[in-house]
Amino acid sequence: MNVKFPVTLTIISLSSFFVGIGLVALLQTGNQDVNQPSQLANTAQTTATSTPQVNTVISPVVATTTVASNVPQTPTPVPTPTPAPTPPPTLTPTPPAPTPAPVKVGYTASEVSKHNMNGNCWMIIKNQVYDLSHYSKQHPGGVRAITNECGKEASVIFSRVHSNSAWNLLANYKIGPLTN
């Protein structure tokens, strides 16, 4: 980062009279009042007419000015407020998720036997369980043909009497396989 700060420079304005007198002689005169003649003024010089001349030394004009400088400077750091430390969060133990009940894959013959009446009629046909509770009233052979087999294994009787279209219709009522 570049920081500008003031630098004081001294500028000396020199007159053309230094040519005749010489810079060294001027600087040797030391500190003098600007309005008083220097010691060199007492030195007489002669000219072709042999008339003494007095040379007055005019002290240099000193002017002071302030200019900006691009000298790099390290800025003083400004402290920034620090936030109060936050305490670490306390961890609350998360209870384990309840294990889901095992998905029932099939039905036992004992379960099927409980569904043995009109309006609640399950049958086992070729190791598959079917819920025919809502179909019994639509059966072409009558309600009794269905209700006599509710809650039982009915593969033999179903195979003997029914066509392929009946097998296709039966697929709509399948609820799962028979398990042990």
Question: What is the per-residue pLDDT across 121-163, written as a single tens digit (0 to 9) for each?
Answer: 999 999 999 999 999 999 999 999 999 999 999 999 999 999 9
Query: pLDDT at position 21, please?
Result: 47
User: What's the pLDDT band for 108 if we cut at 50, 70, 90?
Assistant: very high
Q: Is the pLDDT of residue 113 over 80?
A: yes
Query: pLDDT at position 112, please?
Result: 98
Distance separating alpha carbons of residues 9 and 173, to the nearest angstrom: 107
Q: Which residues pair with 77 in a beta bridge?
A: none
Is the pLDDT higher at 91 or at 107?
Answer: 107
User: What's the pLDDT band for 180 if we cut at 50, 70, 90?
Assistant: confident
Which amino acid belongs to residue 89? P
Is the pLDDT higher at 47 or at 170?
Answer: 170
pLDDT in tens, 23-82: 444 444 444 454 555 444 444 444 444 555 555 555 555 555 555 556 566 767 777 777
Query: pLDDT at position 3, please?
Result: 54
- Domain chopping of the chain, boundaries: 109-177
Distance separating alpha carbons of residues 33 and 17, to the nearest angstrom: 18
Output the CATH code of domain 109-177: 3.10.120.10
pTM here is: 0.45
Residue that has been written with the tokens 């969060």 in this structure:
89
Q: Is the pLDDT of residue 169 over 90?
A: yes
Q: Other CB atoms closer than 10 Å to residue 21's CB: what's the count? A: 15
Q: Which of 120, 124, 156, 148 has its CA nearest to residue 135?
A: 120
Q: Which of 156, 153, 146 has its CA nearest to residue 120?
A: 146
Distance separating alpha carbons of residues 123 and 172, to the nearest angstrom: 13
155-160 long-range Cβ contacts below 8 angstroms, 24+ apart? 155/124, 155/125, 155/126, 158/123, 158/125
